[in-house]
Structure 1
Amino acid sequence: MNPTTFRIGGDLEVGRLGFGAMHLPTERGQAWQDSIAVARRAVELGVTLIDTAYLYAWGANEELLAEALFPYPPELLVTTKVGIARSEETGEWGLDGRPEVLGKQVERALRVLRVERLELLQLHRIDPEVPLDEQVGALRELKEAGKIGRIGLSEVGVGELEAARRITDIASVQNRYSLLHREHEQVLSACAEAGIAFLSWRPVAGATPETSARWGTEDDSGISDVVADVAAEVEATPAQVALAWLLARSPVVLPIPGTGKMAHLEQNLAAAEVELSAEQWARLDATRRDVDTVGV
């Protein structure tokens, strides 16, 4: 039986099947109200981990979640990300890990999310133009000041994770990982060894040909066919099977499927009840594509 919860940072307990808020429409009007309804329904169904970021609609996603869910239930973790900003010189958006920018974005997130401390704050991407110790060091200082509870990283390799851990404690890593995308196997192994939460985004990619095409990736290894077979055997949807495989992959894996549709939300969360036999899990696992393992 797979554990249903995980303690991020060793103490912050959340349900392992979370919700990625990126796909919630943020246009004002009916779309906004529909998104609020989906976010509230996620919490009603027991979600205790919701992922957002300043990048998602440039802060509107955070605003939407605050309007939908504040005051937050005590068991709910809303985690956000910083490190992407608009250049004052060019007006273009890009990576920006300068300490002063990270500090301003954290202050903004505190204000928009209406909290005094961000219990989990993740660096959206490491900025190659800024020394890592300056970026992670800035977050460490914000943690010491009581504005951040725990620090996480996103889209990193093993070497970057190890370097960051020499600067401060790292509670989570948010990397793309699914049946279709397994380039971060080494990162997942490092997280499992260290007890670091591994938040997998785009977790249902490969469940069907449509989910592969949606992300611009062709499933050339028959993954979706195997998923469909197993789904028929366990009377579940392909997406539920893909999520069940992830939940059984490692106890540190916390999938964060995202959707703006109520029906998809309810189907995704029902994946927690799908049980795969050892043979079914192994059959799914054997669909692994030949990919380059990111370990640097």
Structure 2
Amino acid sequence: MTSIDNTGTYQLGDRIVRRLGYGAMQLAGPGVFGPPRDRDAALAVLREAVALGVNHIDTSDFYGPHITNALIREALHPYAGELTIVTKIGARRDAAGAWLPAFSKEELRQAVHDNLRNLGLDVLEVVNLRVMFDVHGPAEGSLDEPLSALADMQQQGLIRHIGLSNVTPRQVEQARRMVPIACVQNMYNLVHRNDDALIDALARDGIPYVPFFPLGGFSPLQSDALSNVARDLGATPMQVAIAWLLRRSPNILLIPGTSSVKHVRENLAAADLVLPDEAMASLERIGTA
């Protein structure tokens, strides 16, 4: 097994993390609701990811809910000193698994304490505010009240750094006027590239951009051009999609998720995949078609 190249790193909050991390969402049951089909397999995935060099894990207590954090704690606690666990708050699940806003000061505070308890931590390294004006994508709306609540908890020592998720560029600007922003986490991949300008702007200021659904999410990326590049390089399409993101901008931190040890290994191996210029040109055309 080959671990991640240590030179592929970037600053996240106070930590230096490898650019290829792991997203824990898929460890929960179908629809990110309920327990995993195979608990032992889920624990094995987490342990294998860390064994291969991952030191950035993305999670949330509304995955399950309360499932992925419990799995992370069981698999990895006590945590290695270099492991950075990033969580999200701002949403909740109802009894049927629907995604609902949880934006009040009381709900945000409860979510922080739930994450602390279920992860077995005294302080959360990075907490992303998951904006829920529209569950399906970014939508304008004021972040004053929820960000003020997070800033209060930061001053109390419950969280170290504040990030944003599912936000518009205008909301990023607003948030940065209120508090230092450690990272921005939005949907972005080879096909869905609405945040190109935002990524470049954040890169100029040294702020990480963390794509969720970097491989397409519940509907994996499909493209003849992607498949052709992968075939020519002797790689999988998903490895090529990861390699493209790593080359797209140095501030991109990746958190591809999977419930399979095999796919964890394949995803992390993409760090060593070199994309020739002609392959990059072919891939670039996918996002502008």
TM-score normalised to structure 1 length: 0.86
TM-score normalised to structure 2 length: 0.88
Match of 1:112 in 2: 118
1:142-291 matched pairs, under 5 angstroms: 142-205=153-216, 214-215=218-219, 224-289=223-288
Residue 21 (1) aligns with residue 24 (2):
yes
Q: How far apart in 1 are the matches of 2:40 and 2:159?
A: 30
Q: Structure 1 132/259 Cα, relative in aligned 2: closer, same or farther at 3 Å? A: same
Q: How far apart in 2 are the matches of 1:178 and 1:216?
A: 11
1:184-242: CA deviation from partner (whole Å, max 9, x where unpaired) = 2222122212211111111122xxxxx7xx4398x6xxxx2111221122221111110
Whether the 8 Å CA contact 1:158–1:190 is kept in 2: the answer is no
Give the C-alpha shift of residue 138 in structure 1.
Answer: 0.9
Q: Structure 1 2/184 Cα, relative in aligned 2: closer, same or farther at 3 Å? A: farther
Q: How far apart in 1 are the matches of 2:66 and 2:133?
A: 20
Q: Structure 1 29/52 Cα, relative in aligned 2: closer, same or farther at 3 Å? A: closer
Structure 1 residue aligned with 2:10, among 6, 9, 26? Answer: 6
Q: Structure 1 144/178 Cα, relative in aligned 2: closer, same or farther at 3 Å? A: same
Give the C-alpha shift of residue 289 in structure 1.
Answer: 3.7
1:157-186: CA deviation from partner (whole Å, max 9, x where unpaired) = 110000011110001111111111112222
Whether the 8 Å CA contact 2:189–2:213 is kept in 1: the answer is yes
Q: Structure 1 110/169 Cα, relative in aligned 2: closer, same or farther at 3 Å? A: same
Unaligned runs of 5+ in 1: 206-210, 291-296
Give the C-alpha shift of residue 13 in structure 1.
Answer: 0.6
Between 1:40-49 and 1:124-133, the stretch displaced more is: 124-133
1:11-160 matched pairs, under 5 angstroms: 11-25=14-28, 31-85=38-92, 93-127=99-133, 131-160=142-171
Q: How far apart in 2 are the matches of 1:7 and 1:216?
A: 29
Q: How far apart in 2 are the matches of 1:285 and 1:92?
A: 35
Give the C-alpha shift of residue 96 in structure 1.
Answer: 1.8
Q: How far apart in 2 are the matches of 1:43 and 1:200?
A: 20
How many residues align? The count is 276
Give the C-alpha shift of residue 127 in structure 1.
Answer: 4.6
Superposition RMSD in Å: 2.6
Give the C-alpha shift of residue 93 in structure 1.
Answer: 4.9
Whether the 8 Å CA contact 1:2–1:247 is kept in 2: the answer is no
Whether the 8 Å CA contact 2:35–2:67 is kept in 1: the answer is no
Q: How far apart in 1 are the matches of 2:37 and 2:207?
A: 39
Give the C-alpha shift of residue 244 in structure 1.
Answer: 0.2
Question: Aligned to 2:226, what secondary structure does the other structure show?
Answer: helix
Once the two structures are aligned, what percentage of the paired residues are identical? Answer: 40
Amino acid at match of 1:7: Q
Q: How far apart in 2 are the matches of 1:78 and 1:263?
A: 22
Whether the 8 Å CA contact 2:165–2:186 is kept in 1: the answer is yes
Give the C-alpha shift of residue 137 in structure 1.
Answer: 1.1
Amino acid at match of 2:105: P
Between 1:256-265 and 1:119-128, the stretch displaced more is: 119-128
Q: How far apart in 2 are the matches of 1:23 and 1:29?
A: 8
1:70-97: CA deviation from partner (whole Å, max 9, x where unpaired) = 0111111111111113589xx9751121
Q: How far apart in 1 are the matches of 2:177 and 2:164?
A: 14
Whether the 8 Å CA contact 2:60–2:89 is kept in 1: the answer is yes
Question: Aligned to 1:199, what secondary structure does the other structure show?
Answer: coil
Runs of 4+ in 1 over 4 A off after TM superposition: 26-30, 126-131
Whether the 8 Å CA contact 2:189–2:211 is kept in 1: the answer is yes
Q: How far apart in 1 are the matches of 2:279 and 2:173?
A: 34
